Amino acid sequence: MKNASSGNSSRTGLHLQGMTRRSLVKSAAAAGFTLPVLGKSAVFAAPRRTVRQQDAEKPASLNMLYATVEADVEAIKLAIPDFKAETGIEIVLDSQPYDALQQKVFAELAVDSPYYDVIIVDTPWTPALTGKLEPLSEYLTNEALNDVSDPALDDFIEKVFFDTAVYNPTSPNLQFPDPSAVDVEAITGEGFEIYGLPLQANALVAMYRTDLFENAEGMAAFESEYGRALAFPETWDEFTEVAKFFTRPDENLYGTTLMAGNGDWATDDFKTLLAAWGGDGYMVSDDFTLAFNSPEGVEALTYYADLINEHKVTPPGVTSFSWDDASAAFTSGLTAIGMNYHTEVLAPDVQGNISYALVPEKVTRGPHFGTWMLSVNKASQNKEWAYRAANWFTNGPTQTKMLAAQLHPSRKSAYKAAKTDENATKFGNFYDILGQSLALGVGRPRLTNYGAVDKEIWVAVNSAATGSMTPEEALQSAADKVLALLQEAGYPVS
Amino acid sequence: MRHTPGQRILTALSQVALWIWVLLAMVPLVWMVTTSIKPEGYAQTIPPTWQFQPTLQHYVDVLEGAAVTPFGPLLLHSLVVAVGSTALALVLGLFAAYALARLRFKGKRFLAMWILSTIMFPPVVAVIPIFIMAGRLQLIDRYLTLIVPYAAFNLPLVIWVLRSSIRQIPEEIEDAALVDGASRMEIITRIVLPLAAPGIATAGILSMLLAWNEFLFALTLTRSQVKTAPVGISEFTGMFGTQWGSLSAAATIIVAPVVIMALMLRRHLIEGLTLGAVK
Amino acid sequence: MKPTREESNGIGWALVTPAVGVLLLMTIFPALYLLWASFRRFNLMMPENAAFIGLENYRNIVTNADIRHSMLVTILFVVAAVGIELVLGLLLALMLAPKSRSNAAAATLLILPMAVTPVVSALVWRELFNPNYGWVNYYLRKIGIMGEPIAWLSSPQTAWFTVISLDVWQWTPFVALILMAGLQGIPPEPREAAAVDGAEGWRLFWDVTFPLLRPFVAIAVLLRTLEAFKTFGTIRVLTGGGPGISTEIINLTIYRTALQDFSVGAGASLGIAFLVFLSILVPQMLRVLARDSDLVEA
């Protein structure tokens, strides 16, 4: 129980238990607080600023907790040797699959465990974690700490940066009012903070089989049936027609994949459509009014369910698809169109080619996006070096290098580099489309219990998709439950 | 006994039905093993691919860590946890089982009932407080943090199996030793232990099976130092698709030792489970 | 009087104490902690704000239709899975009981499914029942049993079928092997005597064999029931509780609430409710078992 507060020990110096004298001195030096208990060691007592500029002892290694697949662990592995060459610090990497990672991150932070110095954080977790992650504004503006790498904040895709890293410490539910330029002083001036540096940015993109779309016979047949040229659809109305056109169950070919199974992916499909239909893609607004059961929401979900049940343009079993099922369906040649968060490679027995496109629009576009950021554990005993690592691993050159392992960069310079980098160009226009999608992306509501809210919405999407409920009923039922959840979490709902 | 033609047909039919079940039951294992030796990309084809160049590449990937994390250390962690928790359960279980089988003491009946009833504790429920406490006490990612809960899960069954097998040992042997001045401890280690060996084998393999295959506690209570193989398997599926080849290779590697052990100890396994039913 | 029959309180308790200690640590302590947490609004990230809220969490359980649903489907799942396993296991045991080389080989092969790691078996099942490339649909259509491909996990009925079939595949052999051992241990005399009296076939089995087999049935049912109530990983991988919430058994709800949403208080109250239910049910089952065997007799 005592150790529950050991993360604060560097502040108060009261909990000596479990810490060596040396590490205590070290962390005290880092935080710059007086430690009367140590008697003569009180020479370390110095104003915060000066100590900050004085270099904290360089650790031999830093522990980093990372996501195996979702944030592309291979990319980080590529860069680790370079970081060692640059700084002499070994990164001890521990990667976990998504659920385990989330559990681990929350568990480590909840008990203020100093074990991990740098932690990868997914957007939906951040509202609950702001108290446990080190605010970085002072680090970012401290010249001395940017000796290894220049943070170059204006190089981040603004939308990605604000959605991922900028939170109000006292009201973590708030979105930053003006996300047009990344400026530390403007952020702190509004009472916001920066809780990490974005790295892997995922957004929903569409992909299609050019061999099918450019098939002469098919093109002619489409044109005679619909009176326009066959091309990847710009709008959702066209999307239905194109998907219908390619749906040929006899040939084992269907129009499109969707991710309608139980899971976060179904919510993300829905909120993409909700935003496209002109609704509030965040689903719950800043003042906690529900925005997903609006008329736009009902229309969007009706469209979604109709693709499956009315037009039948999806492969069998789509209502239990997750993102990997959707990926498998597209890559095995089962569908002409796919929508997912990454590059695809067709299975060896499928002859064909892939091109990428923006997810279609209705009245507008708002593909779902979410980004992983590298954050510094507040309880870490090497916060300054942890910051340097987070900064270095997310900088432009490192991100560009990580393209070799298909990182989805968060920096504009990396997208510029991707135009000519053959690691990126071998995926055709993927990076171009990803960059555009990120600029249009719509994030998630900032709720500490988003996981529970998410689940009620995906159940609604899945229920409508399987036809067990009408879209209205499903959304209404979810709305009642979400309202109760918001109340439970202590949010002021009317 | 005479066999009528009707009986003979019945016997033949039942043999056919039995073998249909057995062969169908092998299908998932056939899927697993064939997928593990199919080249990448042939796991999901329509129709299923049967003609392919078998490859051991997935096994190499899995063991060398080309796929995700090297599997070798994970198998080692699993082995330590399985052996450690089984040893703990057997030692504690043997003493308790002996007391419950042979001694008379106050509260014994209640105790026997209570011990057995702890089987019901659902791991999903138990893991919540254990996870929180282990986190507070900085016990995450230690062998003991998995070994003790696994031993506790197995204790009721171990005690039950051992108690039955101790009761089948003629008491006269122990009485003679007691008269000769042997202590209880000597009786347990010198007389009961060897005579109860078949029961210990059964209890041991049941414990090993649970500890080797357990997922939830291992997922929740480890980082990387004691991460076990079943947790490693879940890393082959994720947002960017599932690596079926590597996954089935890893699965085959995990299942193989259990299968071999179960086959070797088949007779003990079946007898051990039924001991309690023999009055 | 034999020495072993003496009252030996000291030694007896000394020998059971280590085992009891470990069990207390892993059952009673967690239960008490859960009980404490269940009266609080206790979020993992804000442990210092664990406000006492009385019976609020329990009230939520009683009034929440989804939770009632998951408790109900948990019971239905256990009854269906164990029931099917008992019937099929008994049939298999009757086929396996005559001693022959063929039967010994069959019994050996039947052990294999039990050895498969549950997470693996669920992943394999998901692929076998995959509507597009799964072997089940492909070969059923090929031999003409199935017309349209079935999307197994997309409707509640077929999703339940898939979930239960996995449990039946993996655990029917367990029941079968216990009952087989039971049948093989039954002395032939009562059967022969009844046969001489003219009893035949079904009646012979039901009146003579089955009563002798009862202790084995009781043990198999008890162990399977307890294990079935613990089912978690397989359903999580296979359906994730879907479609909708149709296969969301209580363990999934508890896991999600406590370990994904980190509402420890709400999760704890669910855990306590589940424990209370089990501790009413299990002693009843043990009592039935005690009638038939020496399992819990002093």
> Last residue of some domain: A35, A53, A71?
A53
| Three-state DSSP state, A211 | helix
Give the model's confidence band at A46: pLDDT under 50 very low, under 70 low, under 90 confident, else very high.
very low
Find the DSSP H helices in A332-449. Answer: 383-393, 396-402, 412-418, 422-425, 430-440
**Does any CB of chain C come closer than 8 Å to the CB of residue A316?**
yes
Tell me which of A94, A112, A341, A372 to substitute to probe the interface with B (most B C-beta atoms closer than 10 Å).
Answer: A94
Average pLDDT over residues A230-238: 97
Residue A493 maps to a domain: no
Shared-domain flag, residues A83 and A193: yes
Surface of B (107-126) touching C: CB under 8 A: 108-109, 111-113, 115-126
CB contacts, 8 Å: A348 with chain B: 39-42
Residue A379 maps to a domain: yes
pLDDT for res A290: 96
**A70 and B239 Cβ atoms separated by less than 8 Å:** yes
Q: Which residue has the tokens 């108690």?
A: B163
Judge residue C124's burial from the number of C-beta atoms within 10 Å of its C-beta, 0-12 exposed, 13-18 middle, 19 or more buried.
buried
In chain B, which residue's Cα lies nearest the Cα of C112?
B259
What's at B66, amino acid-wise? A
Q: What is the CATH number of the domain that holds A215?
A: 3.40.190.10
Shared-domain flag, residues A374 and A359: no
Tell me which of C154, C237, C246, C263 to substitute to probe the interface with A (most A C-beta atoms closer than 10 Å).
Answer: C154
pLDDT for res A1: 34
Distance from CA of C156 to the nearest CA of A (A): 9
Shared-domain flag, residues A378 and A229: no
CB contacts, 8 Å: A261 with chain B: none
**How many domains in chain A?**
3
Residue B39 maps to a domain: no
Shared-domain flag, residues A67 and A198: yes
Residue B27 maps to a domain: no
Give the model's confidence band at B179: pLDDT under 50 very low, under 70 low, under 90 confident, else very high.
confident
> Last residue of some domain: A422, A440, A458?
A440
Shared-domain flag, residues A187 and A289: no
Q: Which of A329, A448, A462 sits opposite C242 (nearest CB)?
A: A462
CB contacts, 8 Å: A262 with chain C: 239-244
Shared-domain flag, residues A131 and A16: no
pLDDT tens-place string over residues A173-229: 999 999 889 999 999 999 999 999 999 999 999 999 999 999 999 999 999 999 999
The lowest-confidence range among A305-309, A393-397, B178-182 is B178-182
Q: Which of A100, A108, A252 sits opposite B231 (nearest CB)?
A: A100
Residue B48 maps to a domain: no
Judge residue B137's burial from the number of C-beta atoms within 10 Å of its C-beta, 0-12 exposed, 13-18 middle, 19 or more buried.
middle
Q: What is the CATH number of the domain that holds B227?
A: 1.10.3720.10
Cβ contact C243–A469 (<8 Å): no
Cα–Cα distances in angstroms (integers) from residue C259 to residues A70, A101, B132, C124, in the given order? 20, 11, 10, 25
Q: Which domain holds residue B176?
A: 60-277
Distance from CA of A459 to the nearest CA of C (A): 5
Both tokens of A87, joined, read 């700084």
DSSP state letter for C49:
G
Shared-domain flag, residues A341 and A250: yes
CB contacts, 8 Å: B241 with chain A: 324, 327-328, 331
Shared-domain flag, residues A137 and A77: yes
CB contacts, 8 Å: B171 with chain C: 2, 4
Residue B70 maps to a domain: yes
Shared-domain flag, residues A403 and A286: no
Both tokens of A58, joined, read 């360089």
Residue B197 maps to a domain: yes
Shared-domain flag, residues A115 and A77: yes
Distance from CA of A343 to the nearest CA of B (A): 9
Neighbours of chain C (3+ CB pairs under 8 A): A, B
| Three-state DSSP state, B256 | helix
**How many domains in chain B?**
1
CB contacts, 8 Å: B234 with chain A: 97, 100
Beta-carbon contacts of A394 under 8 Å, excluding residues fewer than 6 positions away, are A197, A198, A199, A373, A374, A410, A411
Q: Which domain holds residue A181?
A: 61-203+370-440
pLDDT for res B267: 72
Structural domains in chain C, CATH included, are 49-292 (1.10.3720.10)
pLDDT tens-place string over residues A381-432: 999 999 999 999 999 999 999 999 999 999 999 999 999 999 999 999 999 9
**Does any CB of chain C come closer than 8 Å to the CB of residue A425?**
no
Distance CA A188, CA A186 (A): 6
CB contacts, 8 Å: B131 with chain A: 103, 107
Shared-domain flag, residues A160 and A99: yes
**Does any CB of chain B come closer than 8 Å to the CB of residue C244?**
no
pLDDT tens-place string over residues A251-296: 999 999 999 999 999 999 999 999 999 999 999 998 899 999 999 9
Shared-domain flag, residues A81 and A210: no
Residue A159 maps to a domain: yes
pLDDT tens-place string over residues A47-99: 444 344 456 789 999 999 998 878 788 899 999 999 999 999 999 998 888 88
Q: What is the pTM of this model?
A: 0.87
Residue B204 maps to a domain: yes
Share of chain B above pLDDT 90, in %: 37
Helix or strand (DSSP H, E) at A206: strand A205-209
Under 8 Å CB pairs connecting chains B and C tally to 303
